[in-house]
Structure 1
Amino acid sequence: MLKLFTPNYYIHRYTALRPAFLKEQGIQLLICDIDNTLVPHDVAVPDDEAIAFLKSIQDAGIQIVFISNNVEERVATFAKGLNIPFYPFAMKPLPKTYRKMLKDFHVKRDVVAVLGDQLMTDILGANVMRFYTILTAQVVERDLSFTKVNRVFENIVFSLLKVTGKLVKGEYDE
């Protein structure tokens, strides 16, 4: 059961994710969460650092797609001008949107990675799909109210992962 919450790779910040590392893993498609993964939930557009990160991934020949449980207006505003497709109101961790992405991008699950900041949505959903999972620490500590509830359960899972030796919060792979 805890395996479903255990990422393949754990980083302190999204900028630590290198395109060469993704290529070594055979990744062709990076599914990327937005809120508190790339920017705080209350920041509408990507900053220069996020744009540079996304460009470096694309320049390596890896496709990017945004996924979010947030509403279309927020996700569309963030993605505007980036030429990156997006899937709002994805209902993570449910697999429906992930399955649609596999079909839309004509890729097999073993060439897909998911980058996100939450065990309860991003990592759980991606592990159910058997994607390569990358957990990043939150960009900021503040969260939306419903995410705060997820964080309570997430902290319980982190405690269990620590006890079993699978993952320690704040002990990163890179």
Structure 2
Amino acid sequence: MNDTPISDTDQSENRKEQEPRLWRDDGWTARIIKNEDDDGWAVEMTLDGQAEPALVGPWTMGRDKKNPKPLDSSAFITLVKTANEVLRRHEQQLHATLHKSVKIDAAAGRLTIKLDIVPDEDEPYAVLSAYDESGEQLAEVHVAPTYKLSVQRASEWASGGFGKQG
């Protein structure tokens, strides 16, 4: 038998807590908090290791109309599903913001022009690239992260021989 004590960090990773206003399980923490905007209550869902909650929403009052309704298994499962969906949508929105593409007709045929923004903290930049119908890369240049991709700009870039863009 191993008598080595379990560290706090080991316990927190496997911690499962089920209290009326605080649940921890499956990598999530649900905490009922006082709603700062009114006299009601709110619930915040925080993913383990994150400083900010992924989801904050209104919470139901209890029967006494003063205290919050206690958390239960069904509510926690629903909150985890909702918070995961919020994170998934946020990731999709971020991806759409950082990766754009347009299709154009050029002398070389139908081309796909892509703009991929690299949000580096020190030196952000973007990569403008052109691909033919078979997916072969025809050109690539670095551009400012503020570059606005449009069909017109992509067509001008292609007709100009894929020269340097601003």
TM range (shorter): under 0.3
Structure whose residues are more often helix by fraction: 1
- Give TM-score, length-normalised by structure 1: 0.21
> Looking at CA atoms only, which structure, 1 or 2, has the larger radius of gyration?
2
Structure whose residues are more often strand by fraction: 2
- Give TM-score, length-normalised by structure 2: 0.21
